[in-house]
Amino acid sequence: MNAITKEVSQANAELRKTAPLVHNITNYVTVNDCANALLAIGASPIMADDLLEAGDIAAISSALVLNIGTLNRRTISSMIAAGKRANECGIPVVFDPVGAGASKLRNDTVKEILEQVKITVLRGNISEVSFVAGLDVTTRGVDASAADGNRDAAAVAKAVAEKFGCTAAITGAVDVISDGKRIAKIRNGHPMLSKVTGTGCMTTALVGAYAGANRDAFVAAAAGVASMGIAGEIAYEKAGRLGTGSFHIAILDALSHLDSAVMKARGKLDEA
């Protein structure tokens, strides 16, 4: 077993032991899935997006997850307030810039959050993270474009990590994680994950859970991404042939049984 696989396995054990409280200001299309994914992995979710309480909830949480999937002006203020409070309290902030590059509002919001909030982990697809890196992108709504997929994901992740002093996680056929110094690649997952809405949002929430229980953001990001990939593989084996509905539920089942032993046995991680 290599070092990164051992580290993510230990991170899972720590998460199961500590049951971190994870504050989510997230996508209303997938909020229920994110909450259930957090419960399944052993964390405790709270979804609080009103400006009057966002900062207070962030202050008592183990991690904060910001997701702009269903963006509106009301929650932009809540995200920034919660992010600033989390920064003040030393609480990790995980940011998912969903659809970055697709509209002026999204682009402006991504820039505003990154200017006002210190991000611990940024998780997105290659188009979204390329936008954050300052590259021209051809985002397809909330999906990565084929043209952007030809980029060197490791180079993009490293550039974002260095630019913002964070860990960057790019998910795709091969996931790439970088904190500017270390680079890991993860080859877990199944193509059917792209046929169920919310798997990206759930992945970001899982990263938040691991970040809330582990000090090393690079390991937390790798563990969260690997957890969804492994769960996707197990879900397909159990229920994938029944259809996307059964596969969807099987993802949660797989996450609920995911422990350090399963991660050691099934993790396909390597570090450059």
Could you give the domains of the chain? Answer: 3-271 (3.40.1190.20)
Residues tagged in the binding site annotation:
47, 123, 171, 198
Residues tagged in the binding site annotation for ATP:
123, 171
- pLDDT in 10s for each residue of the chain, 272 residues: 799 999 999 999 999 999 999 999 999 999 999 999 999 999 999 999 999 999 999 999 999 999 999 999 999 999 999 999 999 999 999 999 999 988 999 999 999 999 999 999 999 999 999 999 988 766 655 454 455 556 799 999 999 999 999 999 999 999 999 999 999 999 999 999 999 999 999 999 999 999 999 999 999 999 999 999 999 999 999 999 999 999 999 999 999 999 999 999 999 999 98
Beta partners for residue 178, in sequence order: 168, 183
Residues tagged in the binding site annotation for substrate:
47, 198
Give Rg (Cα) of the chain.
17
- Rounded Cα distance between 110 and 250, Å, is 33
Alpha carbon 183 to its chain centroid, in Å, reads 16
- Rounded Cα distance between 144 and 175, Å, is 13
